[in-house]
A = this chain, B = another copy of it.
Amino acid sequence: MKRVLVNGAMGKMGQEVVKTVVEETEDLLVGACDMKGIGENIMDLLGLKGDRVTIYGDLTEAIQKTNPDVIIDFTIPEVVMNNIKTGLSHKVHMIVGTTGITEVDLKEIKDLAEANNVNALIVPNFAIGAVLMMEFSREAARYFKDVEIIELHHNQKIDAPSGTSIKTAELINRNMNNCENNGINEIERIKGARGGNKNGVNIHSVRLPGLVAHQEVIFGGEGQTLTIRHDSYSRKSFMPGVKLALKKITDINGLVYGLEKIL
């Protein structure tokens, strides 16, 4: 049983994480931190049963008052590095789902984790299915020379292509010898029809109301195609990954990047 503090607990992901820790793990929610609802009992706010868990507005105070083993951070890029430093320097393990962490940040986190003898698990995508889709795509790239990616999201997503599709293209590119060109001079009668090209992989971004978050990686070979598709229908898809992270956080050693490392 680990003592868990959720940072960003009143955000959409944070609330889901709080519920998951309370209802679906053997661990104990001891603290919550957020700018909203300070001083209130998050158990009441979310309709959960169990002892009072007060929302603190300051992470350091929350750590001192609740003495957690692990902090799960779903905040915003602007503050995440400060949160990680605060957690690690108080010798608390960090599980981080917040985006915006750079290569440079990772180096700093690694050093800080090792210096304090605690662990940091940085996870850009907590959906196990999405992580497997990327892993399988990387693996399949060794056996196919041609691949394209279609990613489909709701039309409120304003940027294209998605971060996951770009990361998938990078992973594929490392394993695929020559996906730059099929030797055919294509004619694009309508500009953009052939999609955007990332590392030699064409990416097509569909945006439609009704859709949630979906990605399809299609490998083509003579007479056959292999398709790996992930459909995310709700925020709940991230919870199994969060539970896995919580289970493994004490077994890893220092910094670990990516859920695939602990699968």
Interface residues of A (CB under 8 A from B): 127-130, 132-133, 136, 139-140, 142-144, 146-148, 150, 152, 155-156, 158-161, 166, 182, 184-198, 202-212, 218-240, 263
Question: Which of B132, B139, B196, B225 contacts A190, CB < 8 Å?
Answer: B196
- Sample 7 A-B pairs with CB under 8 A, ordered by A number: A132-B143, A190-B197, A210-B225, A210-B233, A211-B220, A221-B240, A224-B230
Provide the residues of chain B in CB contact with A240, threshold 8 Å. Answer: 143, 221-222
Give the distance to chain B from A109, nearest Cβ to Cβ, in Å: 26
In the complex formed, the residue of B with least CB distance to A240 is B221
Given known A161-B190, A227-B229, A233-B224, contact A195–B184 (CB-CB < 8 A): no
Contact residues in B for A136 (Cβ distance below 8 Å): 132, 136, 139-140, 228
Which of B143, B150, B221, B225 is in CB contact (< 8 Å) with A150? Answer: B150
With A and B bound together, what is the CA distance between A219 and B228 in angstroms? 11
CB nearest neighbor in B for A226: B129
In the bound complex, residues from chain B placing their C-beta under 8 Å from that of A191 are 192, 196
**How many angstroms from the CA of A263 to the CA of B89 in the assembled complex?**
46
Task: Check B129–A224 contact: CB distance below 8 A.
Answer: yes
CB of A190 within 8 A of CB of B198, answer yes
Give Cα A232–Cα B219 distance, bound, in whole angstroms.
12
Residues of B within 8 A of A129 (CB): 144, 219, 221, 224-226
